[in-house]
Amino acid sequence: MRPEVVRFLIAGGSAAAINWLSRIALSWVLPYWASMLVAYGIGMAAGFWLYRTFVFRGATGRLPRQAAVFVAVNAAGAGVVLGVSTLLIAALTAVLPALPLPVAEALGHGVGIAAGAVSNYFGHQILTFGVRRGGHAPAGAHTL
């Protein structure tokens, strides 16, 4: 496995954990769907910093452009997370009606985050940070 992929999994896992734990905490004061979207934003901010700093170190482009594209890629990813999570919660509660709803929500959200991670990796590698195939960007391309 390439070192970039390992760093992505660690950084993405950290951002996903921040996202997931934030959603659980936010669920105390917000409806599930709202807590999920706010938590996604928190995880996105952490992910941008982690990916830019540790994963795609040879990234091309300026910070404002990267941030804008990062948000766009993650907006698409949010749709994947929300869709997969919602479908899985519905399936779990239909198949296992005795399963407590908070458990179904936690499982659904976790699987949704995992599903969004795959598309996010390629979106960030290609679109956000402009890393060429092989994991390298042009020399000196990481600029503010």
Is 134 contained in some domain?
A: no
Q: What is the largest CA-CA distance in the chain?
A: 57
In a domain, 144, yes or no: no
Residue 22, pLDDT above cutoff 90: yes
pLDDT at 120: 82
pLDDT of residue 30: 96
pLDDT in tens, 101-123: 999 999 998 899 888 877 888 88
Residue bearing the bigger pLDDT, 114 or 142: 114
pLDDT in tens, 47-79: 999 998 898 887 777 889 999 999 999 888 888
- What are the CA-CA distances from residue 129 to residues 41, 64, 77, 82 (Å)? 19, 12, 16, 25
Looking at residue 35, its pLDDT comes to: 94
* Residue 64: exposure state from Cβ atoms within 10 A (0-12, 13-18, ≥19): exposed
Does residue 133 sit within a domain? no
Give me the domain span that covers residue 46. 3-128
* Domains contained in the chain, number: 1
Number of CB atoms found within 10 A of residue 35's CB: 20
